[in-house]
């Protein structure tokens, strides 16, 4: 049985927990081939595909590219995937954990505490010699009751305040933070006062989430203090969810996510934009 107090699960542990665990395939990439096609070519037995763009987020618009989903719509989507109130859920992606972390965050925000990320994703599952299938499982409709707000979020105003009174971590790569490049959004740069800490700093070379003590030390080096608030943002609230996952492992279960992130920030031209280093 998966423990609600844990954040990740090893492939061997997941194999032993099947079929008593709901498994969601959250593979996704920014542009390019849809994750649903990857799922069709092979997935963990019993896994059900969940679409980050349309099921784990609301429609793109003035609140960013991946805003919070409508709770009733999310509930219907998760029930259609077979998610229940009392059955553990494991989410996975191709390997880097970023899309899976967004799925983890949404489920926990919705009140499903017994949700974990497959450490190392599908690549780790394959590397440990576990089976892959192309069969689509039969789904028993779930009964999850979505109760939004179980994890803290930030609005644009909250993020601006946090950057001054605590630590606001920018999870994007350094050139995007500095405003040297911006491949997606119409304005380049970062929220004034934010600290750049790319999501890749959260994992080992094999895409496993780093140990708690290691992460705590690394976050402290980025300015995170136990007695001050902390939050994270990225381009659209996907990679920053992985930073929140890492902060949870480091003991900061109060870490907040700016879901709209940079794609929300730049919708208002009156909001300040910083460029260059921190």
Instruction: Indicate which residues carry an active-site annotation.
Output: 234
172: Cα separation from own chain's centroid = 13
227's tokens = 């007695």
Beta strands at 8-9 and 115-118: parallel, antiparallel or unpaired: parallel
Which DSSP symbol is given to 170? Answer: E
Residue 275 CB partners (closer than 8 Å, separation 6+): 178, 179, 188, 189, 190
Q: Which pair of tokens denotes residue 158?
A: 């909250």
User: Distance from first CA to last CA of the chain, Å, rounded?
Assistant: 44
User: By three-state DSSP, how is residue 118 classified?
Assistant: strand
User: What beta strand segments (E) does the chain contain?
Assistant: 8-9, 22-25, 48-49, 89-92, 115-118, 167-170, 195-196, 230-233, 256-257
Contact yes or no for 264/64 (Cβ under 8 A) = yes
Q: How far apart are alpha carbons 169 and 92 in whole angstroms?
A: 24
d(CA 199, CA 227) in angstroms, rounded, equals: 23
Q: For residues 193 and 182, is the Cβ–Cβ distance under 8 A?
A: no
């Amino acid at each position: 049985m998966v423990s609600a107090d844990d954040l990740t699960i090893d492939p061997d542990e997941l194999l032993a927990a099947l079929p008593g665990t709901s498994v969601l395939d959250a593979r996704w990439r920014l542009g390019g081939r849809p994750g649903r096609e990857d799922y069709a070519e092979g997935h963990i037995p019993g896994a059900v595909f969940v679409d980050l763009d349309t099921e784990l987020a609301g429609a793109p618009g003035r609140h960013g590219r991946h805003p919070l989903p409508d709770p009733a719509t999310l509930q219907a989507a998760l029930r259609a995937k077979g998610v229940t109130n009392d059955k553990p859920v494991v989410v996975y992606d191709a390997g880097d954990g970023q899309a899976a972390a967004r799925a983890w965050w949404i489920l926990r925000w919705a009140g499903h505490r017994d949700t974990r990320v497959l450490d190392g994703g599908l690549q780790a599952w394959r590397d440990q010699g576990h089976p892959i299938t192309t069969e689509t499982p039969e789904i028993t409709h779930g009964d999850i009751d979505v109760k939004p707000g179980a994890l803290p979020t930030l609005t644009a105003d909250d993020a601006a305040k946090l950057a001054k009174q605590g630590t606001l971590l920018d999870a994007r790569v350094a050139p995007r933070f500095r405003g040297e490049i911006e491949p997606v959004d119409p304005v380049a740069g970062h929220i004034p006062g934010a600290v750049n800490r790319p999501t890749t700093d959260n994992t080992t070379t094999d895409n496993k989430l780093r140990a708690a003590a290691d992460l705590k030390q690394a976050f402290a080096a980025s300015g995170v203090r136990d007695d001050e608030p902390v939050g994270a943002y990225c381009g659209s609230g996907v990679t920053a969810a992985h930073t929140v996952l890492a902060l949870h492992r480091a003991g900061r279960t109060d870490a907040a996510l700016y879901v709209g992130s940079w794609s929300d920030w730049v919708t208002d031209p009156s909001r300040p934009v910083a460029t260059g280093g921190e």
